Structure 1
Amino acid sequence: MAEQSYSIEFDGYYREPNKDGLPGKSGIYSVYRGIHNVEEKNVSLKELIYIGESVDINARVADHDRLEDWTARLREGEVLCYSYALVPTDHRVRVEAALIHKHKPPLNTEYVDAFPFDKTTISIQGKTRYLTESFSVLRR
């Protein structure tokens, strides 16, 4: 497995009540704690709590087995918020692993301490709150 570079663009942020707007396509998703300001029609993100991957982002987030864990992390007045990046199926796991290894979200366990791929460089654009926009991860 050779060194690889990926450029991805995150879109979002979708609040829990609007998560059905997430695409039914292959990619990476990020889960955040946030506060929705109704008057200003915006979301103030507080923490990146989870990163995942799926062949169908919409279906995975809609029926995720960790939803209770995500919700338990919320503080009063907060809602779950999501962003996503479309990533081809054959690259999803490697990109997810690099993002988790770099950012170590509190509710992820796999890839936090180990990265099983050769050097991987990620460049991120778009909705990048709490994500490092450019980084490399080495096998460990």
Structure 2
Amino acid sequence: MLDPLLSPKLLGYWTEANVHDAPDESGIYCVFRAARDPESEEMEVQELLHVGEHRSARWGLEHDEQREKWLAFPQPGEEIWYAVGLCGHANRGRLAAAMINAHKPRFNAKSPYLERFPFDETTVHIYGKKRKLQSVFTVARQD
């Protein structure tokens, strides 16, 4: 059997003010800390904080159990930004698990996928809004 290639396009970025505009479709969602770049003075993604998945990525973002922790995390001048990668039900959990295993976001600290990947070897190719993420990575089964 061929090992799957998951290739989500990360859409976004949405801020807290416009998170209601995020897609209401099946997929993963990424939560980032954004801050002003000292050279360009532009707000830019600095760190991936959390990865989640839901049949409605927008609903997942708006109702995730970690939400209050994300919103309390930024320092003055920083913001929380969101991105969504659309993915069908069949691979959504696997994609989220691979993202967590590869990137180890701080607010996924209790996830079993940090040290364990219960799926067959999976390659992920991310495109779109992928700042601070690995573009292409493979996660091997780790039971």
Using structure 1 for the length normalisation, give the TM-score.
Answer: 0.91
Count how many residue pairs are aligned between Structure 1 and Structure 2.
138
Structure 1 runs of 4+ aligned residues shifted over 3 Å read none
Task: Mark the CA change 1:5 to 1:20 in structure 2 (over 3 Å): closer, same or farther.
Answer: same
CA contact (8 A) 1:123 1:134 kept: yes
Using structure 2 for the length normalisation, give the TM-score.
Answer: 0.89
Give the deviation of 1:78 after TM superposition: 1.3
Tell me, in whole angstroms, the C-alpha distance in 2 between the residues paired with 1:72 and 1:48.
Answer: 15
Give the deviation of 1:77 after TM superposition: 1.4
Q: How much is the aligned-residue C-alpha RMSD, in angstroms?
A: 2.0
Task: Point out the structure with the larger strand share.
Answer: 1
Structure 1, unmatched stretches of 5+, are none
CA contact (8 A) 1:33 1:45 kept: yes
Tell me, in whole angstroms, the C-alpha distance in 2 between the residues paired with 1:61 and 1:31.
Answer: 8
Task: Point out the structure with the larger helix share.
Answer: 2
Kindly provide the amino acid, as one letter, of the partner of residue 18 in structure 1.
Answer: N
CA contact (8 A) 2:74 2:80 kept: yes
Tell me, in whole angstroms, the C-alpha distance in 2 between the residues paired with 1:43 and 1:106.
Answer: 21
Aligned to 2:26: 26
Percent identity reads 35
Instruction: State the secondary structure of the residue aligned to 1:30.
Output: strand
